[in-house]
Amino acid sequence: MNIIIITGASSGIGREFARQLDKRLYSVDVFWLISRRKKELEALAQTLEHPVRIFDMDLTLESDIFAFKAILEKECPVVRMLVNCAGYGLMGAFDRVSMGEQSGQIDLNCKALVQMTHMCIPYMKPNSRILQLASSAAFLPQADFAVYAASKSFVLSFSRALAQELKEKSIYVTAVCPGPVNTAFFERAEKFGSTLAVKKLTMVEASEVVSDALKASAQRRRVCITGIPMKLFYLAAGIFPHEIMLQGAAALKKLEKIKTGKGKT
């Protein structure tokens, strides 16, 4: 049985991966969709042509991770593609966000992603694909988004190293690094702080991110960056000292606050 596994499929980018892959990959038997909200996954399943198996799991719970591992061991599917999309971020001053919320980002964005990847590789064959949702936040430390940006730097670094390791097995890994994407992500992210208005001007749709990511994966590219502004940001982060860029971002934030007379952080 050939399967695709998508985490975070109930919303945003993960849901879009399911929709686009449903139209593209015909040699897959079943889509395994993972997230906590079962109803959303069921609603998505109704719209897909491929058969779907739903896993309403909390990826930060060891018990759910072990239960999933046991299913893999019992059923031994061929994992043609793993898309690790589940993730969240919280803006705001580090010490104003609770420890649970801060470490939750590490548990989901880093630990669960590593666990899912580790569990799935034994079931992959040559030409299988892994797509890891990093972010343009991976390119540079970010004040007031410190843990999230660090977690995504982890994902980018991990994915690039893994891509090198798995080359011998002909398993291809792509780190997907979009800038702001128009999804429910910001509903949660802006609970304690807000993003720079200028950054939001670069916002793209999930459909664009996913079609770019699938193209990059097909071409065996290790990093995928959507849109010219984020490509320039990547270049800038490779050229300019990060201290200067951090100071620049802080100055921009101050300016925006003065201009609007508001701002939560």
Ligand X SMILES: NC(=O)c1ccc[n+]([C@@H]2O[C@H](COP(=O)([O-])OP(=O)(O)OC[C@H]3O[C@@H](n4cnc5c(N)ncnc54)[C@H](OP(=O)(O)O)[C@@H]3O)[C@@H](O)[C@H]2O)c1
- The number of beta carbons lying within 10 Å of the beta carbon of residue 256 is 15
State both tokens at 24: 């593209």
Name which of residues 37 to 66 contact ligand X (CB under 6 A).
37, 40, 57-60
Total chain residues near ligand X (CB under 6 A): 29
For ligand X, which stretch binds (CB under 6 A), given 85-93, 157-165, 243-251, 252-260?
85-93
Of 69, 83, 77, residue with least CA distance to 7:
83
- Angle between helices 12-24 and 38-47 in degrees, nearest 10: 30
For the bound state, the minimum distance from the C-beta of residue 201 to ligand X, rounded and expressed in Å, comes to: 13
For the bound state, the minimum distance from the C-beta of residue 173 to ligand X, rounded and expressed in Å, comes to: 16
For ligand X, which stretch binds (CB under 6 A), given 2-10, 71-79, 156-164, 245-253?
2-10
For the bound state, the minimum distance from the C-beta of residue 126 to ligand X, rounded and expressed in Å, comes to: 27
Using CB under 6 A as the binding rule, whether residue 69 contacts ligand X is answered as no
Name which of residues 162 to 221 contact ligand X (CB under 6 A).
178, 180-181, 183-185
Cβ closer to ligand X: 118 or 254?
Answer: 118
Cβ closer to ligand X: 108 or 124?
Answer: 108
Using CB under 6 A as the binding rule, whether residue 18 contacts ligand X is answered as no
For ligand X, which stretch binds (CB under 6 A), given 29-37, 212-220, 237-245, 253-261?
29-37
Q: How far is residue 26's CA from residue 2's CA, in Å, rounded to a whole number?
A: 10
Q: How far is residue 152's CA from residue 180's CA, in Å, rounded to a whole number?
A: 14
Name residue 83's beta-bridge partners.
6, 131
Using CB under 6 A as the binding rule, whether residue 89 contacts ligand X is answered as yes
Using CB under 6 A as the binding rule, whether residue 11 contacts ligand X is answered as yes
Q: Which helix (H) or strand (E) holds 216?
A: helix 206-218
What distances in angstroms separate CA 8 from CA 1, 79, 175, 228, 252, one per listed residue? 22, 17, 16, 26, 33
- Angle between helices 113-120 and 62-75 in degrees, nearest 10: 10
Of 28, 153, 1, residue with least CA distance to 83:
28
Cβ closer to ligand X: 2 or 56?
Answer: 56
Using CB under 6 A as the binding rule, whether residue 226 contacts ligand X is answered as no
Q: Which residues bind ligand X (CB under 6 A)?
A: 8-14, 35-37, 40, 57-60, 85-89, 108, 133, 135, 178, 180-181, 183-185
